Amino acid sequence: MSKHTFSLETLSPIAISQGGSNFFSSSRHFIYDADNHEICFLDPEQVLASVKEANVESAFYALKSSLQSFLKERVGLGEFDIEEMILERLPANGFRINTLDRIYPIQEEQGAPVILKEQLGEAIRAAILYDWLNSEQETGGKKQLEEWVAGIENTYTECRSFLQELKALQDSYRRNPKRLDPYSLERKNSLENQIRDRLESSLKLTDKVLFGEKGADQIKLTASPTFASNAKEIHAIGKVNIENGDLHGILLHEAVKKGTSITFELDLDGKLANPHLAKWADAAQEELTTVLYNYAYDLVEFEREYIDELIQENKYGEGDFILRRNQQENLENLRNFYDNLLEEDFDEASDSQAFLRLRTDSAYLGQTFALALFQQDIDAYERFQVLYGMLPRQSQVTATHTDAVVKLGQRRGRRQDANMLSLLGWVKIQS
């Protein structure tokens, strides 16, 4: 087994959230300090003790809105020493506090934010997988990639007869889940399962194809890298669709600041079964950073060119749809982010430096396969997107959604204006 030590610097905020139902609520856990643009997390026990002392427990337990309003308006500042309740202050960036009522916490160990070793390891394995898929060596995966292209073509041909029917059923269900009768709902599920079964029989979107049943476990981090406890801030984070510029799923998250550095240690087992991978046990560290660099560069170039083509088509009215103003702005911001990343970071990187994008989801492998397919056969890539786009949780596979730091604006009716400020999760690695 060989071990490699790397340093890591965040080029944009990163947020590996705990997810699920675990969140801080504005009705119990935090208030907003508008003068300092900070979120103040409160000590629940101290808040409750102060509420009891002021004899306003019934009003507190009935609270369904802002704790800030309760403390400052309904009860009055004179009743409490709020500073005594504050456990932590974090900078609040790019949003108006009255737009959202919960904050999702970042992963932590012993009070300090971390990048999960599983997630960072998965990002590194995805880059190694991409290197294998594009290798024409005897031990490379180019032949396997060609077989997948044929499998996608066969699956698309087999499924063409009911793709239109499935799309109509899914559209009806999205508009109103109760709209479909039991027969139609059963038919929708059956069509989705038929596509999934045909795809799984013709191509295996899993790293086990390369690493073997247990091989992926042999490329791993020894521990989750830990940041300084004061590296956190608050951001509004959403997902921007690189195909149309839409933003959705916007939530407040704790995040690690841009410009924060850590180190981590990567283990590479010398007993890897695949001969293409066995070399990594004895390879120089710079060889691995080259693989990471090439994958990140191809990913940025692909998305930048794809987005630029959409913008140009929209400019001259050649696309399939007309972008709204906010969609156009988001795509332009996304393209500009990539331009700066390439010109200021990629172009100036040394042979010992590389880059990774740490996602909030688990779409690394889908992102890898999609990019490799695009390089190999554009038609196969487009059919891949269509087929997997019909399946539930398709973004986990096709990875067309990119995490973004978001700025929230004024409300208009029931809609919330939002614009992308930068991408989330880009880091630079130094060997």
User: Partners of 254 in the beta sheet?
Assistant: 234
DSSP for residue 228: -
Between 99 and 44, residue with greater pLDDT: 44
Between 170 and 227, residue with greater pLDDT: 227
Mind giving me the DSSP string for 281-339? GTS-HHHHHHHHHHHHHHHHHHHHHHHHHHHHHHHTT-SSSPPPHHHHHHHHHHHHHHH
Q: What is the reported pLDDT for 405?
A: 92
Angle 67-71-75 from CA coordinates, rounded to 5°? 130
Token pair for 330: 């988001």
296 confidence band (pLDDT: 50, 70, 90): very high
Q: What is the reported pLDDT for 4?
A: 86
Q: What is the reported pLDDT for 313?
A: 84
What digits encode the pLDDT tens for the residues 9-67?
999 999 877 666 688 988 889 988 888 889 999 998 888 888 888 888 888 888 878 88
pLDDT at 100 over 80: no
Q: Indicate the SS3 state at residue 5.
A: strand
Write the CA distances from 244 to 60, 241, 314, 383, integer angstroms. 44, 6, 10, 18
Q: Determine the average pLDDT of the residues in 280-293.
A: 86
293 confidence band (pLDDT: 50, 70, 90): very high
Q: What is the reported pLDDT for 75?
A: 58
Distance CA 292, CA 203 (A): 25
Distance CA 277, CA 125 (A): 11
pLDDT at 410 over 60: no
What digits encode the pLDDT tens for the residues 298-327?
999 999 998 998 888 887 777 666 888 888
331 confidence band (pLDDT: 50, 70, 90): very high
Between 1 and 408, residue with greater pLDDT: 408
Q: Percent of the chain, pLDDT > 90? A: 25
Between 181 and 216, residue with greater pLDDT: 181
397 confidence band (pLDDT: 50, 70, 90): low
Other CB atoms within 10 A of residue 151 CB: 19
Could you tell me if 114 and 426 are in contact, meaning their C-beta atoms sit under 8 angstroms apart? no
User: Phi then psi for 72, rounded to 5 degrees?
Assistant: -95, -25
Q: Look at residues 238, 235, 174 and name the one whose alpha carbon lies nearest to residue 417.
A: 238
Q: What is the reported pLDDT for 419?
A: 84
Distance CA 237, CA 245 (A): 15
Q: What is the reported pLDDT for 242?
A: 86
Q: What is the reported pLDDT for 205?
A: 62
Q: Determine the average pLDDT of the residues in 394-404.
A: 69
Q: What is the reported pLDDT for 413?
A: 46
User: Phi then psi for 48, rounded to 5 degrees?
Assistant: -65, -40
Q: What is the reported pLDDT for 63?
A: 83
pTM of the shown model: 0.86
